[in-house]
Amino acid sequence: MSASNVPPSETDALLAAVKFGSDGLVTAVAVDDRDGEVVMLAHMNRESLALTLANGVMTYWSRSRKKLWLKGETSGNTQKVVSARIDCDGDALLFRVLPQGVGAACHEGYKSCFFRERNGAAWEIQGKPLQPPDRM
């Protein structure tokens, strides 16, 4: 991870508006800046949000692995931050990102984690994966 090029005080000021839940997390939604598609929803703790705001690369908190998760660190599918928004009550964040690598946000290889759409009683896969599944 690159060193921060943003003063800590700037990140601190931004974090002051964020309301972390009792689990210490906020929800983060990532949108592909090229076409506006929602590509994933995950969570951030204070440290991962601070790193994301400071470094401009999406860094989540993995709830399953209980550790910082620099998205794409292994697969190369990192996400550069284009802009960051916060919602009215401060507990959700919306990032426009530029996907790197092959651009698969989903560990199952799809561009978006939301690759299944309702059709009647079924969730049907839409489109094809961009790469084989990875291990996150």
List the one residue from 10, 19, 34, 76 that touches its own copies (CB under 8 A).
10
What is d(CA 107, CA 42) in angstroms, rounded to the nearest whole number? 12
Task: Kindly state whether residue 117 participates in binding its own copies, applying the rule CB under 8 A.
Answer: yes
Task: Kindly state whether residue 27 participates in binding its own copies, applying the rule CB under 8 A.
Answer: yes
Bridging pattern class, strands 92-99 and 26-32: parallel
Indicate the residue among 3 and 17 with the shorter CB distance to its own copies.
17
Rg (the chain; Cα; Å): 15
Q: What DSSP letter does each residue of 4-43 carry, written as one string?
A: P-S-HHHHHHHHTT----TTS-EEEEEEETTT--EEEEEE
Measured on CA atoms in the order 18, 22, 26, 27, is the torsion positive or negative? negative
List the one residue from 4, 46, 80, 108 that touches its own copies (CB under 8 A).
108
- By CB under 8 A, what part of segment 43-62 binds its own copies? 53
Task: Kindly state whether residue 84 participates in binding its own copies, applying the rule CB under 8 A.
Answer: yes
| Cβ count within 10 A of residue 123 | 10
Binding-site size, its own copies (CB under 8 A): 39
Binding site for its own copies (CB under 8 A): 9-11, 13-14, 17, 27, 29, 31, 36-38, 40-41, 53, 83-89, 92, 94, 106-108, 110, 113-118, 120-123, 126
